[in-house]
Every structure is written in structure tokens, then in C-alpha cells.
Structure 1
Amino acid sequence: MKQWILLMGLALPFFVAGQSIDDIELAKIRAGFEKDNYTTGMQNALSSNEITKLAWSRENEGLTDHYFTYRVDVSGITNQKKSGRCWLFTSLNIFRPMAAEHFNTKSFEFSENYLYFWDLFEKANLFLNNIVATADRGIDDEKVRWYFRSPVDDGGQWINFVNLANKYGLVPREAMEETFSSENTSWMTKLINRKLREQALQLRELKNAGTSDKQMEATKVDMLSTIYRMLALNLGEPPTEFNYRYKTKDAQLVAAKTFTPKSFMKEVLGEVQLSDYVMLMNDPSRPFWKHYEIENYRNVQEGENWHYVNLPNEVIKGFCIESIKNNEAMYASCDVGKQLRRDFGVLDVDNFNYEAVYDVPFGMDKKQRIQSRESGSSHGMALIAVEVDEKEQPLKWQFENSWGEQAGEKGYLTFTDEWFNEYMFRMVVHKKFVNQKVLDIYNEKATMLPPWDPMF
């Protein structure tokens, strides 16, 4: 009898923890769905229309224009097509005005394909290194599963660009044009990942069989030759040297000059040091005024991990305004899909009223959205403009996007200051616009976060 009571006591928590919906509870739920006139009309509308069209706030239309107090001098819109290379386009777009001014041209575009090739190649090397380093762990280990989940992909952010540019330099678009595979990356990356996973299993087996480090490295390099071949067939081979000539604004043809990628980067950027740019974050799910680093989140083995200072939005905005006033665009990333009216090129927290459609409240704040993975950074763009009031307080901002001229307002997206508060996450600002307090924090030892943190 005592044994039976003990078993019942042990079993009870499991029974209470998760109960099925019985007929009585289901009947209550059904009874709560009242078919009044509003509900019937909305059911008919939702079953026949796109939800966003019904949720669009008509009174919000036309309230946001595309004029600004301060705006960076930019020209031309790029297009990443069907790829996840927004971070790469955005990073390069920051320096396009500088290049156009240097060459005295109406517009200029770097080769995104060039750095994309090296990004995938370096990510492949890092993945295989990580697999060897964790070969003593079980295949179901959390970190091992994380590595196998996505050996390489299109994604990245500012520090990935820094790692690549410092190692491989930059080239103009004419030196390595886009290809079908660079603009439509899905199948190429799927097949490269298939091969990398196969190679990773082989490396784990060799490592656990006692293969020497020297032989392991030789085997890995041979595997990378296969990845290089796949990339070169899809994207073309990156140039080691090229000739570049161009026409100036006044249609003068400039004689061709021979460059290497490193010398071209030096020609265009001059004394600019990529290490002088600081990444800032607004993540209310973690303490502000702290320096964080994401474990093993980089694309180049010897490169830097992603790291940033977490700050209140009001502090970040002050730095952004100063940068724009000085004609310097910034790398920014946000949750672009939230409250986006794409055809108007406007991001506004009042664009869509889903509560009115469903008569259901949606109550999470930014911190809760991050913690529950409802919101996070999904897209990178260049921050180029701000409208301020008579007290120099921001009212609205503007992105230079990389979705082509047909998306948004001729390729640009305007967003309200309220939207900035809710859905902006990362900003990269030159250190000359950042105060000493933040720079001191940036130089402190960072708190390490796991690569599967909700924000990443």
C-alpha cells in the first residue's frame, strides 16, 4: 500500500504538467467563439484576403514623407537579389560614396561577389576546424549539432566584412561581376553544405582514430580544394590582379591602371582603418553599458568574433545623428519585416493594426519579443538620413536598402523614431562620433555569449 502511494505521488507531477484538452474544455472554447456580425464579416474577409491588407491602418497613409534635415550624399541602389548577403552589400555601401568621390564618378559599386566567394571559403575552413576541435564530443553534443546545422550560409554582419576586407582587399564590380549563383544562392549553398557535412564526418572519424595533427591538416586542405572548385564553378575565380578604368562625371575616360585587391582597397579607403568602427547594440534583454562577444561567431579562423557594446537607444541615436551630420553613413541592422509598408517604403509601428482585425491584444515589449524569439535582427541596411525637430531630437530616419530601386521609395526605406525604438538592434559607428565612456567599455574584456543566443 505504501509503495502504491509513493508511485502515485511520483506520477502526479507528470500528469499535472501536461494535460490533454477534454470534451468539456473544448465545448467551452467553442462556445466562446461567438458568431456576431463583426466576427462573421471578418471571417469572410480573412478567408478571402491577405491579412496585411485588412490590417493596414488607412489613417496612417501619407503621414510620413521622405524629406530629411540631414542626409548623407549617396547615389545609386544595389540589389542583392535572391541571396542573404545584405550585411555584405550594406558594409560595402558605406564606402561607395567615398569611392565615387575618389574617382570623381557619378556612382560606384564594389564587387559583392568577390568577398562573397571568400566568405564562403573561409566559413568552410572554420567549420572543418570546429569539427576537428570537437571530435571528442558525441555527435549529439549541443555544440557539435550547432556546427552541423549550417556549415556555411549567406548570413553575416559587420565584423565578417572587416575580417574579409583586411585579408583579401576589395575590387570594383567590373573586376568580378555577379553570376546567377551569386544572385540565387540557395542551391549552391545546399550542395556545398552537403559536401562539407560529408567531409566533417570523415574528419571526426580520422581524429578519433588517432590521426596526427599534420595529416589532419593535410586532409582538411585537400577537402577545401573541393570546396574551392565548387565555388569557382558557381561564382568564378577571384582576381589576384586586374586593370581598372572608368569615366568621370564629365565623361572623361581615365587610363587603365593595374591593381591588386589590397592596393585597390588602399587606393579607395586611404587612411581609413576598419578597426576604428565600433558596433553598438540595443538589446534590453541584457544589461546595458556592457561589452559582449559571441563565441566563435566569425567567418575567418584568425579573424575577430562578433562583439559589441549594449546601450540604450537614446545614447545610440546621438552618435548616429552626429555621423549623418558629418556625411558618414552607418551599417545598421533591424527587424525589417515588422510593420513594413513595402510599397510606400515606410516602417511605422502604426502601419498595421492586427489587434483590430482579430480583436486580440498583442502585448509583448521589445525585451519579451527578443527572449521569445518573436523579434530579432533580420536585415542589414545603411543608415543615411535623419529628420530632427527644433531641439535636434529625431523624428524619423532613412535606410539605403539593397533590394533594388523597385522596392520601397526608389530603393530607400523611411522609418519613424518609434519604430527605431522597437525594431532597431545594431549600429556600426566610427569611433570619432562615440564618447569615451563607450569606447572604454568597448576595450574592456567582453562577456562571452553562446552562438545560439536568442539575438544571434
Structure 2
Amino acid sequence: MRSFVFFVLACSLFIAGSASAKEPEGGLTPSQVQALLDAVKMDAATRTAINAVTNNDPRDLALNREKAAVRDDIFSFSLPTKGMTDQEKSGRCWMFAGLNLLRHDVIKRYKLDDFELSQSYIAFWDHVEKCNTFLEFIIDTRQRDILDREVDHMLDEPVSDGGYWGYVVNLVEKYGVVPKKFMQETKSSASTSRMDYILNTMLRRDAAVLRDMAAKGKAVADLRSEKMRMMADITRVLVINYGEPPTRFEWRVKSDSGTVSEAKIYTPQEFYHQVVGITLSDYVSLASYPIHPFDKNYSINLTRSMADKPDISFVNVDVKQLKALTLKALLDSNRIWFGCDMGHDVNSKLGLMMKGLYDYEALFGVPLTMTKQQRLDYRHSSSNHSMVFTGVDMADGKPARWQVENSWGKDAGDDGFFTMTDEWFDEYVLNAILPKKYLPDHLLAVLQQSPTPLPVWDPSWQSLRW
């Protein structure tokens, strides 16, 4: 009887609470829906737009032919560039840009017609390190709730192709580099989606196993022992997809004059130090994110690709200063690795990066303009592609256009090169990597400060795992 009374009381409270709960507001009423449809004036311009857009790609229709027609691919300063690389269907632009920065010094030093460093070699070790970093994160957070925001973020995509300049530095300094002929591209390296699906399946399964072991009271030493067994399986999958990375190789070259060098055996680390000979740790990361105060040093949590390395960091500067320092280093014959937003005003066929290249406002008759800060804050812009500055066209002492070495093959743009207008730089270039010697004293001082940590969901990191 008592149970029945409690049951009736509980039901009464639930019904009373439901009755008193406020109904959701803001839904579209039938009259409002009709008003929305009535607001679309079916005049000649609208009907023409409907006929055009429903039968064509809006991007082609919005192309501003007047702006595209003034394309100029002549540059007053240009570094000699031989060969064009192609990342194909992968997200390895950051890696290709980094190796492009390195390969040209080898071409120049040995007087070669062309030369590439193996992107597959670096990608192999990048995946090994990222998988290990993910599993270490799972061990470190073993007692957190599965819906913890950082845990959720890492589980969303345990491993991917994307990365940043800091990844290039850490990988090259630890594993060295090899000429491309010693570790060629494979089907999986050129199109990584299926391989990454297998790896993410393994990593999520491994995460469940490690968290279950922790819940049963297993020690960290036991979890790390199990992690190494898991890493052996992951390495097996990577070797099957990429092939086995070389540990020693014999290299000799034939110069553009026909001279053949003496053959020599190298390890990848020896090849990096003796043949490439660039000290990557001498470079610093600058960014221009107006959503954060300038002249400050920042880091972003959970962005390391190696468990024993720090998270990505950058000094945030005004875009005018970013441009001035980039120009200074470039005109001193340095190739400049940079990150930008390729989602706006870019035509890959023409190789144009020009503000206002597409006029969607005129096509659809709606306002679309946002400030740079608004685009970043509201997730409409991110640094999602990296390339290399190789030249600039100066007019009245100021840059008018920038020459860009991309990694989309020779069929894109002008034999692989893109032309960026200076206005586009202001709006969409967000990162640049420069030799430290070009920084003024006040930025060198900022660089020595402890970085202010930002969460991994900060707009500065959105899509940065290119």
C-alpha cells in the first residue's frame, strides 16, 4: 500500500512539473513561414539566378572575371625553384612545405636538376609518434570521465595526417630524412583515408582496453607495457601501408653539369646533418590572430605530436609586423613556410589567391562580409593549409603580389605556383616560420616568456591538423 502511495505521489509531481514547465519558444509559425516565402521577390533577376545556380556550380558563377583577368605572375624577386611536389589525396601539406624548404638547399649545393626528400618516410614516423602520444594521453587521463571535454576531443580523431611546423622540426631532428627514391609514395601514403580509418579503429579499441585495465586497478607500468604491445600492432599496419623505413642507404648524385659524386653510405640522421645541413631549431613560429593580444607567447594544449615534446607554441603579432618580417627574410633569400586559410577567394586552376575573387553577395543578393576577427571567433576561418613563399613583386617599395610554392602538383596554378595578392595576405595568412635572427629585440624577449596556454578548442588551433 505504501509503495502504491509513493508511486501515485511521484506521478502527480511529474505531471505537475510537466504542466508548469515553460514551452520552448522561437519556433517558426505557419504565418511566419509564409512571410519568409513571400519575401523572396520572383523578379527577373531572381529567376535568372535560380536558372543559373540550379544548373551550374555557384563557385563558377561567382568568379569575378574582371579581377581574375588582371592576374600577373611576374615577380621582381624570385628564388629559383626546381620541380613541384604533390601531396595528392592526403593532409600532409605541412610536411611537404617543410621538406620543400629543405630540399632546395640540397639542389643548390649539389647543382641538381631536381631533388625530393621522402615525404612517406616522415609520414611513417609521424603516424608512429601520434599513435603513441594518443595512447599516452589515454593512460594519463584514465580516471577522467569518458565525456570529459579533452578526452572527447582526442577520441574524436585519435590520429590524422595534419600537423604544423613544430612537427616537422621534431620528426626531422629525431628521425632524419632520406631521398625520396629510398622510400617512395604508396597507394596509402597518397590517399590516407582508409589507412587512417584502420588506425583510428585500433586506437579507439586500445583506449577502451587501457581504460578498462585502469578501472580494474592495474598500475601505470602495466598500462605502458600493454601500450607497447599495441604499438607493435600499429607499427605492423604502418609498415604494410608504407613499406619498411630505411635505416641506411648509399647515395650519390649527378649534377646538372654531368659530374657524378662519390657514393657514400648514410643513416637518415647523418643525411640530415651532413647533406641537408639546416638547423631547424633556429626557426621560430609567428602568428597573427587578432582574437588574442599581440606581442605575447602562446601555446595550445594537447597539440604535441610526440609524447615527450612540448605543445605547439607561437608568438602572436600584428599582421603588418608578420608581413614586414616575412618580407625581410624572403628578400634575404630565405624560403618561408607559412600557414593560411585556403577556404576563401582561391582558384586552384588559375593559381590565384585574391581578395574579392568570388562575389557571392552579388549572385545571391545577401550580405556575407565579416571581419578577420569575426571569421576566427565564429569558426569561419582557420589556418588549414601550408605552403612556401618563394618570391614577391614589389611596387613603390611595397609588396603587391607574393609567389607561392604549393604542393598540389604541376597541374594546379602556374606549373604548381600560386600568386597571392597583398590584400589576401592581410586577410588570410595566419602563420609564418622565420629564422630567429630576423626578429626584433622585443619579440626575442617575448619568445623567452613562458607561453600562455590556450585550450585545444581555441580557434587558433581549429583545423590546424592539416
- TM category (shorter chain) comes to over 0.9
- The alpha-carbon distance between structure 1 residues 222 and 435, as it changes in their structure 2 partners (threshold 3 A), is same
**Distance in 2 between residues matched to 1:10 and 1:375, nearest whole Å:** 43
Compute the displacement of 1:11 (Å).
4.5
User: Are 2:289 and 2:316, in contact at CA under 8 Å, matched by a contact in 1?
Assistant: yes
Paired residue secondary structure (1:230): helix
Write the letter of the residue equivalent to 1:424.
V
Q: For residue 356 of structure 1, what is the aligned residue in structure 2? A: 362
**Distance in 1 between residues matched to 2:83 and 2:365, nearest whole Å:** 43
1:247-275 per-residue CA deviation (whole Å, 9 max, x = no partner) reads 111122223210001100011233x3211
Write the letter of the residue equivalent to 2:213.
L
Q: 2:445 aligns with which of 425, 440, 443?
A: 440
- The alpha-carbon distance between structure 1 residues 40 and 132, as it changes in their structure 2 partners (threshold 3 A), is same
User: Are 1:207 and 1:216, in contact at CA under 8 Å, matched by a contact in 2?
Assistant: yes
Q: 1:188 aligns with which of 186, 192, 195?
A: 195
Compute the displacement of 1:9 (Å).
12
**Distance in 1 between residues matched to 2:61 and 2:28, nearest whole Å:** 32
Q: 1:281 aligns with which of 280, 283, 287?
A: 287
- The alpha-carbon distance between structure 1 residues 9 and 288, as it changes in their structure 2 partners (threshold 3 A), is farther
- The alpha-carbon distance between structure 1 residues 249 and 40, as it changes in their structure 2 partners (threshold 3 A), is same
1:325-375 per-residue CA deviation (whole Å, 9 max, x = no partner) reads 111101111111311122211111121111100111112111101111111
Compute the displacement of 1:156 (Å).
0.1
Q: For residue 98 of structure 2, what is the aligned residue in structure 1? A: 91
Alignment partner of 1:428 is 2:433: yes
Write the letter of the residue equivalent to 1:47.
T
Alignment partner of 1:451 is 2:459: no
Alignment partner of 1:66 is 2:67: no
- The alpha-carbon distance between structure 1 residues 396 and 9, as it changes in their structure 2 partners (threshold 3 A), is farther
Unaligned runs of 5+ in 1: none
Alignment partner of 1:31 is 2:54: no
Paired residue secondary structure (2:134): helix
Write the letter of the residue equivalent to 2:340.
C
Alignment partner of 1:133 is 2:154: no
Paired residue secondary structure (2:253): strand
User: Are 2:355 and 2:424, in contact at CA under 8 Å, matched by a contact in 1?
Assistant: yes
**Distance in 1 between residues matched to 2:398 and 2:321, nearest whole Å:** 12
Unaligned runs of 5+ in 2: 1-12, 462-466
- Give every structure 1 segment of 4 or more consecutive aligned residues whose post-TM-superposition deviation is greater than 4 Å: 6-12
Alignment partner of 1:307 is 2:313: yes
Q: 1:124 aligns with which of 127, 131, 140?
A: 131
**Distance in 1 between residues matched to 2:217 and 2:371, nearest whole Å:** 52
Compute the displacement of 1:213 (Å).
2.3
User: Are 2:351 and 2:418, in contact at CA under 8 Å, matched by a contact in 1?
Assistant: yes
User: Are 1:163 and 1:304, in contact at CA under 8 Å, matched by a contact in 2?
Assistant: no
Write the letter of the residue equivalent to 2:56.
N
Alignment partner of 1:344 is 2:350: yes
Map of 1:253-272 to 2, 5 A cutoff?
A: 253-270=260-277, 272=278
CA-based RMSD of the aligned residues comes to: 1.7
Alignment partner of 1:160 is 2:167: yes
**Distance in 2 between residues matched to 1:409 and 1:336, nearest whole Å:** 17
Write the letter of the residue equivalent to 1:185.
T
User: Are 2:119 and 2:180, in contact at CA under 8 Å, matched by a contact in 1?
Assistant: yes
Map of 1:311-330 to 2, 5 A cutoff?
A: 311-330=317-336
Q: For residue 405 of structure 1, what is the aligned residue in structure 2? A: 410
User: Are 1:73 and 1:327, in contact at CA under 8 Å, matched by a contact in 2?
Assistant: no
Compute the displacement of 1:301 (Å).
1.2
Q: 1:149 aligns with which of 151, 156, 175?
A: 156
Deviates more, 1:34-43 or 1:100-109: 100-109
Compute the displacement of 1:304 (Å).
2.9
Q: 1:47 aligns with which of 36, 41, 54?
A: 54
Q: 1:387 aligns with which of 378, 388, 393?
A: 393
Paired residue secondary structure (2:213): helix
**Distance in 2 between residues matched to 1:51 and 1:211, nearest whole Å:** 57
Q: For residue 214 of structure 2, what is the aligned residue in structure 1? A: 207
Compute the displacement of 1:104 (Å).
2.0
For these two proteins, the number of residue pairs brought into alignment is 447
**TM-score, scaled relative to structure 2:** 0.93
Deviates more, 1:304-313 or 1:77-86: 304-313
User: Are 2:343 and 2:381, in contact at CA under 8 Å, matched by a contact in 1?
Assistant: no
Write the letter of the residue equivalent to 1:455.
S
Percent of aligned pairs with the same residue? 35
Q: For residue 236 of structure 1, what is the aligned residue in structure 2? A: 243
